[in-house]
Structure 1
Amino acid sequence: MDSEEQQLRLRAIHISKDERNSGKISAKNLQSGLTEFHKNGVVILQDAIGIPALDHVKERMLQDVPKNLVSPNVHYNLGRKSQNISQTPPLSPEYLHEEIWANRFAVAILEHIIGPRPQLSYATSNIALPALSESQDRQAVHTNYYCSHLDFPVFIQACVFLDDVSSENGSTEFWLGTHHGYNKKDHISPTAGWIRREVFTERARVSPPFQPVILKGSICIRDLRLWHAGMPNFTSIPRIMLGFTYSPRWFGSHMRIRFPADARQRIESWEHIDCLGAAEFVEGDLDYIEAR
Structure 2
Amino acid sequence: MKPFAYLRAGSAAEAVAAFASRSDAQYLAGGTNLVDLMRLGVATPGLLIDVGRLPMDRIDGTPAGGLLIGATVRNSDLAAHPVVRSRYTALSQSVLSGASGQLRNTATTGGNLLQRTRCTYFQDITKPCNKRTPGTGCPALNGVHRDLAVLGHSEHCVATHPSDMAVALAALDATVHVHAATGERTVPVRDLYRLPGDRADLDTGLRPGDLITGVELPPVPAGVRSAYRKARDRASYAFALVSVAAVLDVRDGRVRHAALAFGGLAHRPWRADAAEDALTGAPATRASYVQAADAALEGAVPLRDNGFKVPLARNLAVDVLTRLATTEGEGPS
**Could you tell me the TM-score, scaled by structure 1's length?**
0.29
Q: Which has the higher contact order (CA 8 A, sep 6+)?
A: 1
Which has the higher Rg, Structure 1 or Structure 2? 2
